[in-house]
Structure 1
Amino acid sequence: MPTVVISEFIDPAALEHFVEDYQIHNDPNLVDAAERLAEVCGSADALIVRNRTQVTRELLESAPHLKVIGRLGVGLDNIDMTACQDRGVTVCPATGANDVAVAEYVVAGALMLLRGAYQSSHRVLSGEWPRQALTGGEVSGRVLGLVGFGGIARQTAERAAALGMEVLAHDPFVAADDPAWSGLAERCEALSALLMRSDVVSLHVPYTETTHHLIDAQAMASMKPGAMLINAARGGVVDEAALARSLCDRHLGGAMLDVFENEPLPAGSPLSDAPNLIVTPHIAGVTGESNRRVSDLTVRNVISVLKGTDRDHDV
């Protein structure tokens, strides 16, 4: 009977797919207990994680029977992909299952940042009436620049266009003649051109050596004065200290961040005193609906791999 270890939260309904054919070790506290996780993985045929569980070469070495890792999401920077390849472990991200959730988050961020009124409740409740200071702006007619043009960015483009935004996108990995561009976004061959033209820039790239601090002080300086930055991709893509300086200097007009270089955000972060900054704890892709889709797809992916590779069991 295959053993499946789950180290972070999952929608309980998805576990029903495993029925009586699998032994399930479901403990969301394992993500914060590395030694215990390594111990229970000793007999695991499958491991299901979110973004916080660090799947290192050392963890893989403690799991000699491991055949598949199910990722409850799409980012893979917490998984040592080279080590997985070396050991023949299949990694299954939940591609597409949370696209809508992140796209809605980005569009909501653009609306909130440009309007500029949604952090004023305490002022109004205290008796202030700052109408003139909070008139803000509209997204209609503004330019949205998407850095990366995968599934989430395309869902974002559709929603932004419906609100009257002009959409630009930069992605060197999507060919100029790819039909995905048609009717969704204007292709910017150079990132610099996109940054200079956009009123709102939203990031949709993985975290790699080449995207580390892709949006640094120089990139921010090239953006329009008053432009907004949204990052619901990966934290290391943005130089957080440079962002704090740009916001404090009032060059950038605001930012919304769901991801950070270190999570949870450490005390004393340079972002702590930055104005017009909205932060959330890595939840852009997590809604009730998306959690159900992501969990269901991940479990199905894991079962599919186990059925195809684990021939010692009747599953």
Structure 2
Amino acid sequence: MNGVPSPVAGSIALSQTSASQASLPSASLSSDGIAAASVLPPVQLLTGLGLAVAGVVAFSLRPVIIKLAYRYNVDPVTLIMLRMVFALPFFLGMALWSGARKGERGPVSGRDLALTIGLGITGYYAASFCDFLGLRYVSAGMGRLLLFLYPTIVVILSAMFLGKRIGLREVVALVVSYAGVALVVWSEVGTGHPNFMAGAGLVFMGAFLYSVYLVGSSRVVQRIGSMRFTAYAMTAACLCCILQFAVLRPLSALDLPLPVYGLSAVMAVVCTVLPVLMTAEALRRVGPNLVALSGAIGPVAAAVFGYVALAEPMGWLQLAGAALTVAGVMIITLWKTA
């Protein structure tokens, strides 16, 4: 699975991440993929790579914007609801448009619809909420780095539930990735928020839930189409966030400074909707191999944004740990399976 959480976001972005990527959990940068990229027209190659990088960078802004919004004393329940309210019209439009696309027409079975809703709630509502909660206590760069671990979690879950064999390559990648995270955590323990470890645990839980979504979604995507799956899953997640706010908060919680609404709109459009669309178009133009390669920019971009916008520390231990984690994830994401 590539490292764009558009998603993914991705998230991944997410980072994210779009469901187009969810249907490619084992994408690898093989020599065939590199050769195929080398024969693409230059304009198509540059445009596709530009879109992929832009999607990663846009998603990487999300933790920084969340941290900026928290400066206005908005709580996570309200903030994630505002993000989803601004994003919902786009995904409703995407659902209508995808239903008319050639190849994604026709009814969706009740079973596939239920699976899509359940996976959307898991991967886009529950995972995002854990991320929002955790970012109260960890830096933006740390949060993005922990989310970037999701391909390693996918490998473990696939071995446990899908019978996928974990080879030497995966073992090396897991050791390198988590050694990098341990180094970053060790460098920040005692220097950040008193609840730093709880925050890191919440963000990691978000990465785990997003990995569950990826592992569970690939076959559903094949049946109903990637764009329609993403639209339905995101719509379900948006409605969950709105319902959660209606149950847990009074309307007076919306009496917030205007910048909170502006930041929420930016988070919805720039950090959620645009990465989905840009990554989907990049996949169409250059394929998953090169899109996967661009995912390595995510943690670096988040760390730089955090340093510039939030004055977060960026010492050599954080950089070394981030480099190890990115290297480990890239081993899983990009190397051709033996």
Short-chain TM bin: under 0.3
Higher relative contact order (CA 8 A, sep 6+): 2
Q: Structure 2-normalised TM-score?
A: 0.24
More helix by share: 2
| Higher gyration radius (CA) | 1
- Provide TM-score, normalisation by structure 1: 0.26
